[in-house]
Structure 1
């Protein structure tokens, strides 16, 4: 694991799985429940696609397109920073983590390849292979199927159809790492 990630005082958990497995739906539930309990939760979401956060005609987009390296858009309700990479390498997860404010938990959707603790959302009906079989960093699986005999014994198996069970596990995960 990268030292920038290791030096964080808040726990970091990757949420991984194939497209269509229900990662975002599960994350919405978990984040809402944790926030309602007063926890501050950060999220880093990876996308393989180009991301447009503003309509091209808006002032902030026009300034970015004019050549600004970064544009910060601030209001009384939120702020965003848009950085144009313009051929530079995509920032690493460790670099992104350092840009976040401290939190009780940082959830990372995507970044399957990173050496961080992970919760896999696994639906066998998608016809895709389970990630936990080849990734020792997967510490828990939320699935709509029974635990397969081949699953490692130390792996926590959760019922994806019982998000409260996943929340209970996540709460214990945060407590153990705080």
Structure 2
């Protein structure tokens, strides 16, 4: 099975320091939805792993998160794309849970759900913690320079062999070209 793991905020949609709390605040980064559709067309299953600590902080509730994801799913469907599975951590940073990135709980759950070995699976994020969560399980880290990506790159300390891509569209092209599963 060909699998790709994506972060949401800063990779698929614009991020906000105030969190994405409503469907109106969720706005796709140009080319990101088409990139997911392209991955789907090339036989990739797409799983999302996203920290959503705004729930744990009381900034929005599950109904709001579901509404945001419904908007994302509808927008993806309009360009022929889909997310095959979505995993999120609702906990605040101080909860010390196992699912919040940079811990690998969501990545482990993706592996279980798909019955997949995560070794060499492309994993796209815009922050160091996104990459750390996946690389501990042997995934191929890919940093996009959208969202927090420019700052993440400037801060350094990236996992070895991290691919650097301008955005999800470029990452999808490279995944399709270089991934031989």
TM-score (norm 1): 0.45
Larger Rg: 1
Report which of the two has the higher share of helix.
Answer: 2
Higher share of residues assigned strand: 1
Bigger RCO of structures 1 and 2 (CA < 8 A, at least 6 apart): 1
Q: What is the TM-score of this pair, normalised by structure 2?
A: 0.45
